[in-house]
Amino acid sequence: MAAGNPRFPDFAILDAIAYISDLRDATAAWTLTTAGLTLQVSLVVAAPPRLSYFCVCCVGRDKTTFTDAPDVVCSVGDHALIRVGFTTGDSTEHFIYRARGPDGRPSLDLLPDFDDYTDAENLLLPLGFVSHRKHLVIAALSDGPTDLQYYLHTRSTEPHSRWSKKLLRVEFPRGAARKSAMNDPVKVIALGGGLLGWVNLMEGILICDVLDPGVTALRFVPMPKLLPSNNELYDNESRARAIRDVTFSRGYIRCVEFEELVERRATTGSVVPDPWDMDELQDSEPAIDPPQEEEEDVIVGWRLITWYRTLTWNCWRKGNTVHSDELGTVSLPQIGGGGACALKVPLKDLKTAAPTLRGDGDVVYLATELHEQGETAWIVAVDTKRKLVGELMPCSSEGLYLYDPTYIPYVLTEYLVEKSDKAQVGKRNACHAPAPNTNRSKKQRQQLLQAGLEGQPSVPQLLQPPSVVRWCQQLAVLRVDEEILNAFEGS
């Protein structure tokens, strides 16, 4: 990147739901669908904890071309697998978007026959992606004939390439107990070169060099031991996203774990039979029943711990630790602002879960709520090294899913093209919005006016009209760090 140009964040939090909108800028990439339509995908980038998102359209066609809003199935590095449903041709097709393709610009590749092959071979999602020469190699696992075997499936994006399949055994660390195969992975991490790691957040990581034609084994790396409360509350992998995340950066695999701190406290309550419901009272029954001791679990805060290891170590080493008591009070901004005073509460009083780890291993993004029935949730950045709280990003609790959020980590380290006008690209990515929607109902306009949002640019529309809360959420997403905007203006 040339000196003096603004710098994009090297990490983004990607909304899994894309917008159907024609955004043509330096982030745009095109390819043909099976039916011969031109599909365009662009990326709107915002600095975390704001959400970034994709814009998808078929050039020369309206939104009726799509059966639903496109969505991101998974991402590995700056590769994202996007699922698109069409009303013409094949009902669903999958495409791989690369922020930096083989010629330095964004690229888009169709995965032909993906659904048919996935169904036939029972592939385990998510997929992995590795750049190889000017093409991509797509990799997936499926269950093998025994508990300690998997099939590795690979396919290049080169024209006329086909899927290949190879049986691999699971290789355990020396001295570690051999166990049955881990359950479905929840993410794939790129480990450099042809190495990919399929991550089960409870059990471990299966590592394989998918470019090595002689590969015969998947190396198993066990996950760190669970923290005490998580041993009791999270006993299966289906809830692991609520407490853990894994990433890879600068030669280290990094893991973060979140733990709610629970105290069992005695409560005094009198459980007395109601004489109203009794036909007779025995003399042996006391006039007043003694109070009965009961116990309940009370959440008194939470803590985070990070771990790290290289690919050659046989252990995890402790990174940073932080306790919610160390983070003090935070102000809770509301969606749209509107001049309302932000509520101030201790961070530990917020319902918190789902840590998302930046590559450097120090900053963790958490999903938080004040009330389970509240309309607003927040994504908060916590610096575990300096024990500081960063910005809180308000969003709709309707689509956040506190214990399994739909947003996805996305790496943008080598995003911009040196020869492009990066200042203008940055402005469009961070602040782009099409013309306002003038078809809002009177009630919607009144609600937006009350929230202080009427008159601001609208966001790309989904296939189905979003709720007012969804509008507010995405308008808030488009607010970009002042530092980045200042850099744009001064360039």
By mean pLDDT, which of 77-86, 252-261, 263-272, 319-328 is the weakest? Answer: 263-272
pLDDT at 401: 79
Is the per-residue pLDDT at 426 higher than 70?
no
Is the per-residue pLDDT at 481 higher than 60?
no
Compute the average pLDDT of residues 345-365.
90
Please give the Cα distance from 464 to 188 (Å, whole number).
31
pLDDT at 488: 31
pLDDT at 248: 92
Is the per-residue pLDDT at 339 higher than 90?
no
Query: In the predicted model, what is the mean pLDDT of the chain?
Result: 77
Is the per-residue pLDDT at 193 higher than 50?
yes
**Which of the four pLDDT bands, split at 50, 70 and 90, describes residue 397?**
confident
pLDDT at 429: 29
Is the per-residue pLDDT at 285 higher than 80?
no
Q: Which residue has the higher pLDDT, 18 or 273?
A: 18
In percent, the amount of the chain with pLDDT more than 70 equals: 73
pLDDT at 85: 92
Is the per-residue pLDDT at 47 higher than 80?
yes
The terminus-to-terminus CA distance of the chain in angstroms comes to 13
pLDDT tens-place string over residues 63-107: 888 998 999 999 998 899 999 999 876 689 999 999 888 888 899
**Which of the four pLDDT bands, split at 50, 70 and 90, describes residue 480?**
very low
Please give the Cα distance from 458 to 70 (Å, whole number).
19
**Which of the four pLDDT bands, split at 50, 70 and 90, describes residue 294?**
low
95 φ, ψ (degrees, to nearest 5): -135, 145
pLDDT at 291: 63
Please give the Cα distance from 133 to 157 (Å, whole number).
11
pLDDT at 378: 92
pLDDT at 56: 96
pLDDT tens-place string over residues 9-19: 788 999 999 99
pLDDT tens-place string over residues 134-192: 888 999 999 999 888 999 999 998 888 899 999 999 999 887 777 766 678 899 999 98
Is the per-residue pLDDT at 419 higher than 50?
no
pTM of the model: 0.77
**Which of the four pLDDT bands, split at 50, 70 and 90, describes residue 268?**
low
Compute the average pLDDT of residues 243-266.
88
